[in-house]
Amino acid sequence: DTAVSQTPKYLVTQMGNDKSIKCEQNLGHDTMYWYKQDSKKFLKIMFSYNNKELIINETVPNRFSPKSPDKAHLNLHINSLELGDSAVYFCASSQGRKAFFGQGTRLTVV
Amino acid sequence: GQQLNQSPQSMFIQEGEDVSMNCTSSSIFNTWLWYKQDPGEGPVLLIALYKAGELTSNGRLTAQFGITRKDSFLNISASIPSDVGIYFCAGQAGGGADGLTFGKGTHLIIQP
């Protein structure tokens, strides 16, 4: 049973398009996150949601918007995709101070 | 913002050798976590540390939360081929909702 699952695993799209990445966790955790991993493997937090409330919004362009329909889901919507958005995006969830990650979505903007 | 310095950046070792890597921070953390990432996969939690001075083991892995709360190390004893991957330290300053600050990773390569 996958604890944190993301879809799709790979996403190739053209500049200017709008796309979404879905994330679901079956761990019953209260907090979910989105992280971005760049080409040098550096991981940086983008957002976190706690009980449907946005807790952190780092210096992320407003083209990125997290949407949480319920505690088990946190989707990432990206508008007007740019070449620099190409990266691996990870969803994670936590209860307390341990965070568990999904397998990632490799986004390639061409 | 907070920064984590993780070293070494990469390690080339022989199978059976012990490995040591560490992270230092410019600020205090109340949690240190160590993750391993295999190619095409997400980070997998190895060890979580919650108190200054805490020493925790997970099989051949041992990690410690530094006394100053600004550093942590991870040791791997008797390395085996499946230990290959990228190891990340991550720190958290507040509660769970604050998210993690990651180090830049240590690439471990094992020569048989």
By Cβ distance, the residue of A48, A100, A101 closest to B97 is A48
Q: What is the pLDDT of residue B1?
A: 58
Could you say which residues of chain A have pLDDT below 70? 1-2
- The region of weakest confidence among A71-80, B25-34, B73-82, B93-102 is B93-102
User: Cα–Cα distance between A100 and A32 in angstroms, integer?
Assistant: 9
Q: What is the pLDDT of residue B99?
A: 87
Chain B's closest residue to A90, CA to CA, is B42
Is there a contact between B86 and A41 if contact means CB atoms under 8 Å apart?
yes
For residue A4, the chain B residues in CB contact (below 8 A) are: 42
Q: How many residues are present in chain B?
A: 112
Q: What is the pLDDT of residue B97?
A: 73
Query: B37 CB near a chain A CB, below 8 Å?
Result: yes
Q: What angle do CA B17, B19, B25 make, to 5 degrees?
A: 170
Mean pLDDT of B34-63: 96
- pLDDT tens per residue, range B6-20: 999 999 999 999 999
Instruction: Compute the mean pLDDT over every residue in chain B, rounded to the nearest whole number.
Output: 94
Query: B99 CB near a chain A CB, below 8 Å?
Result: yes
Q: What is the pLDDT of residue B2?
A: 67
Cβ–Cβ under 8 Å, residues A77 and A65: yes
- List B108's β-bridge partners, or say none: B11, B85
Q: Which residues contact B20 (CB under 8 A, 6 or more apart)?
A: B73, B74, B75, B76
Cβ–Cβ under 8 Å, residues A96 and B33: no
